[in-house]
Chains A and B, each alone.
Chain A
């Protein structure tokens, strides 16, 4: 009757599967409706609660800006200050679990079933996960952070009333430029290396495992199935998913708002474009419009293609800095910085009895909360594009390779900037505001106008690739894990994100809501620790 089993269009059979036996049907809680000419397929109540709460928070923040901002800032500072040991300890657990998974027999488990084949080539896959993960941060902090740690380390330790008041990592390196450079680079790499990528890897692996191998919907709540069982489809799960939408949208919108301010400053530096609300709004609209084009074009034609363009541009800029900058210092610095990172890693990651409280709480703990608050978005996006990889391959490519790329990037950009200070006596980079440090560093190299323009393009495109992948993730969560929801829904979230950014930019409150988004890092740290347990339990029942 049929000419084959009906699978010609599908690249490979999935092989042996070990699905979780649940009565829940994906989409069973969804509302399918027609609003005017547009069809909707949204999860009830995650979509409505997320949308209404986000609007309410924006209005309340705008209305009570003066009183709300200190509250959210205090909340963030209290969490990252009081629970610094918790964030650091959790970060170490994530890294250790990832490393154990690489060498354990569970590393052979394939995401998507024993015979699943990868959906994407290495280049496309890596470009997407890197662009969504931390691309934009590297543009701003690649120069700024090494210089900051180098400066505070050079300043050494200062104590008042028995309390350290300096921001130097560990014990600093007072007056010792070479050691300050090593410590500064080690501290920077610590914040951009194994730990952040382990955070993303844990969320992504848990989601990929429970979705592709266990058959649960691709939403954050699925990670909790081993803990809550069928209750995860009720209000427990609704709260988890709403929180994930909340953290993702506010994280993206506030970053977009701040990013517009930074891009505006860069454009003023380069082309004299005046810094004004009008310019910033135009920038947000432009970024949102390109992101909109990307989400409408889809995962392959939009998001993947833009991510690949992004990677090529970033690689060109990196190559330029390596070739035109202090080439020998960068090449030898890569190994030296890796060695410095390995040497200082145990002390930098120590959660208890830290004397460098300002650094451990103000930098590391804040960073961990920041990465963790982004992890539902980045992790879910990585999960979606990682089917067909073995767990070992997945961890190596999500943890080790991006960490090495971060080391190279920081070595080239941060190392060049430090070299300009130490060897050339230039202080322009050190004195420049955060958003201009990259351009000041490039300004001391040849072909400034070209490289700075490339830098601005990269900043903007990195925002687009975060915005479009974030919109896809929010759309999937608010559609109950369905990835084939009607197109207008993802358009709605992309536009909504831009509008929230504009409202907060014009009305104030970017800082407040970003502080609140970072504060979600605390509950999500608990989520991630539970995810570790769920991963182990899930992998233990997988055919290898």
Chain B
């Protein structure tokens, strides 16, 4: 049914992604398709890595650890953003196209009033992407 899953990963808050990661792995095993773990980083040193190259290595290591835990095929892609706070949605939409994913699994928060001001990332991806989007609360 699907050919590739993409899952956006915030390496600084992996503990909050448990259900989405589990769901992506289960779907990958069920459909026997690979999962691409996508991360977005700034060039400035951050909580996860000192520079984009180190970030990419950490993301790749994370993808490998998921593969080891669940046994599915994985790839990873790190994206550089000048301003991740505002450019995350656009970067993820580009990632959907570039990875060739036709299913996006992503964690999102429970909707609240702030979503009327700034729509959630998951909501924006579901609205603008041609891929199927599975939002995990």
Contact = CB atoms under 8 A, between A and B. Distances in A.
A483 B98 CA distance: 25
B80 A9 contact: yes
B28 to A, nearest CB: 13
Given A6-B77, A299-B83, A384-B44, A212 B112 contact: no
B98 A9 contact: yes
Given A9-B78, A298-B85, A298-B86, A484 B50 contact: no
Given A6-B57, A27-B47, A216-B45, A1 B85 contact: no
B131 interface: no
Given A217-B45, A218-B44, A483-B42, A6 B56 contact: yes
Interface string A413-440: 0000000000000000000000000000
B78 A7 contact: yes
A319 interface: no
A251 B84 CA distance: 27
Nearest to B52: A10
A483 B78 contact: no
A300 B77 contact: no
Most A Cβ at <10 Å: residue of B59, B85, B86, B95: B85
A303 to B, nearest CB: 9
Interface of A is mostly: loop
Interface residues of A, number: 50
Contact of A26 (B45, B60, B78, B118): B45
Interface string B84-127: 11110001000100100000000000001111001000000000
B74 A1 contact: yes
Given A2-B63, A6-B60, A212-B44, A299 B82 contact: yes
B75 interface: yes
A6 B63 contact: yes
A1 B75 CA distance: 7
Interface string A10-49: 1101100101000001110000000011100000000000
Interface of A: 1-11, 13-14, 17, 19, 25-27, 36-38, 112-113, 119-120, 211-212, 215-218, 296-302, 384-385, 387, 481-488, 490
Interface of B: 12, 38, 42-47, 50-54, 56-57, 59-60, 63-64, 67, 73-80, 82-87, 91, 95, 98, 112-115, 118
